[in-house]
Amino acid sequence: MLTAITLFLIGIGAGVLGALLGIGGGVILIPLLTGLVGLPIKTAIGTSIISVIATSSAAGAVYVGRGLTHTRLSMTMEIATTLGALVGGFTAVLINPNLLSGLFGLVLLYVAYSLRGIKKEAEDVAPTGFLDTSYIDPLTGEPVKYGVRNFPLGMMASFIAGSVSGLLGIGGGVIKVPIMSLLMGLPMRAAIATSNFMIGITAATSAVIYYRHGYIDPGIAIPTALGVLLGAQIGSRLGSRVHSHRLKQIFQILLLIFAAQMLYRALTGAN
Amino acid sequence: MAEPSPDQIHVSPNLEELVNGIESSTRQAQLLREQRDVNDVVHQMLIVGLVVSTALMVFGLALDIFYRRVPPTTVPQIGEVLPRMVELRPSGFLAAGLLVLIATPILRVAGSIFAFLHERDFLYAGITALVLLIVLASLLLGKG
């Protein structure tokens, strides 16, 4: 019972952060479940994948309802990212995972550094004539109009993100948000809502496979998932009260934590 | 039922108007439906999936408490879920809750194909169908 309550509380925390930043929350959840609760990595991964889906659907319902999600763009990018995940599953055996983790950690450090241009967003965001859309910023009440740029490059990056996710067993939001924000000209808020929407389908594909292979422990996954469902509702509403540039800063911190995890993996070979 | 009277002759043009009125209002409703964004469909599907899966999981946990048992540590095979629910076994409801949660994003993709078709947005119906195909392919190949 005590474990169930701990898991529920951990779930709330992961749900809030995941929804706030448009990521699955596996980055936070897996270390907590293995380190704090002492679960085997297999159960932690199974629980994490269920939590990614819970975050995506619960926050998605709020973000789509408020028009923050660029549904058409996310559906197009889903082609690249699911295809990448499919290919990543096959090529997992060909690449040394330590080398991959190390490279990835360095890429994340670079991305965190690139996100430092906080004031730039207002100038960058503009209609481009391609997949133009708009939303009402929930904090300022101002309409924000924007279009998509660097679409082919974004699709390619999304494919690579999908295959890296497949290789490393992560949701991939941590890569998708910077791609959309830095490369494709989406405002941070829209990038978060759109990434959040996409990670659900990517995770659902793996979840079915994990379910069949017995990675999912209902006694662990369900209390956590219920916490995540609640946390994501809170996080997605909380996000509306946070400034776009503040979201960017929180995201940078998350990237640094994640980069450290990846570099640690690469150096110690802990996979 | 009443005997025919001259009054009814006056009624008939009104009836015609009424029928025309209904026709044009259904046409308007249809137009509105077509214009309605695919977001609404996706939004509703997500909410239904969340409510159903949460209800199943909470009910399963409640049954566990009722029977004074600890929740199971393994999930039953997908084919066993329904029989277990019929027997009111907690593990059946817990697994069903998890499966509905997992199925929600996949059903959301499938549902948006129809929503785009309804909007006559064939490009996006095709794009979404392709996503569903890739997802189904990776399920069949089992690598994820």
| A244, two tokens | 């776009």
Non-local (6+) Cβ contacts of A140 within 8 A are none
Terminal-to-terminal C-alpha distance of chain A: 30
Q: Pick the residue of A47, A56, A71 with the most B CBs within 10 A to test the interface with B by mutation.
A: A71
Which residue matches tokens 């214009």?
A: B35
Angle at B114 between CA B108 and CA B117, to 5 degrees: 140
| A147, two tokens | 């279009």
Q: Convert the pLDDT of each residue in B78-96 to its tens digit.
A: 889 999 999 999 999 999 9
Inside any domain, residue B99: yes
Give the residues across from A146 on adjacent strands: A133
Q: What is the ipTM of this complex?
A: 0.87
Q: Which positions 32-71 of B are in contact with A (Cβ < 8 Å)?
A: 38-39, 42-43, 46-47, 49-50, 54, 57-58, 60-61, 70-71
Q: Write the residue in B70, B97, B102 that is nearest to A204 by C-beta.
A: B102
Which residue matches tokens 């929180």?
A: A250
Q: Which residue of B lies nearest to A81 if distances are taken between CA atoms?
A: B131
CA distance A196 to A267: 30
For chain B, what percent of residues have pLDDT higher than 90?
46
CB contact under 8 A, B74 and A214: yes
Quick one: pLDDT at residue A92? 60
Full domain range(s) for residue A227: 2-268
User: pLDDT band for position B67 (50/70/90)?
Assistant: confident
Quickly list DSSP for A79-143.
HHHHHHHHHHHHHTTTS-HHHHHHHHHHHHHHHHHHTT--TTHHHH----SSS-EEEE-TTT--E
Distance, in angstroms, between A116 CA and closest chain B CA? 33
Q: Write the residue in B46, B91, B130 that is nearest to A60 by C-beta.
A: B46
Q: Are A48 and A226 in contact (CB under 8 A)?
A: no
Q: Which helix (H) or strand (E) holds A245?
A: helix A244-268
Quick one: pLDDT at residue A129? 74
Residue that wins the pLDDT comparison between B81 and B12: B81
Using alpha carbons, select from A204, A199, A57 the residue that is nearest to residue B102: A204
Full domain range(s) for residue B47: 11-141
Q: Pick the residue of A72, A94, A213 with the most B CBs within 10 A to test the interface with B by mutation.
A: A72
Terminal-to-terminal C-alpha distance of chain B: 69
- pTM value is 0.83
| A254, two tokens | 């998350």
Distance, in angstroms, between A19 CA and closest chain B CA? 15
CA distance A86 to B18: 57
Number of domains in chain B: 1
- Between helices A71-91 and A151-168, what is the axis angle to 10°? 40
Average pLDDT over chain B, rounded to whole? 80
Q: Which helix (H) or strand (E) holds A144?
A: strand A143-146
Q: Are A194 and A69 in contact (CB under 8 A)?
A: yes
Distance, in angstroms, between A165 CA and closest chain B CA? 10
Number of domains in chain A: 1
Residue by residue, pLDDT tens for chain A (271 residues) are 678 899 999 999 999 988 998 887 777 788 788 878 888 878 888 898 899 999 999 999 999 988 899 989 999 999 998 888 778 766 666 777 677 778 778 888 887 887 776 555 655 677 877 888 888 888 888 888 889 989 999 999 889 888 877 676 666 788 888 889 888 989 888 999 999 999 888 888 888 888 888 889 999 999 999 999 999 999 999 988 888 788 888 888 888 888 888 888 788 866 4
User: pLDDT band for position B144 (50/70/90)?
Assistant: very low
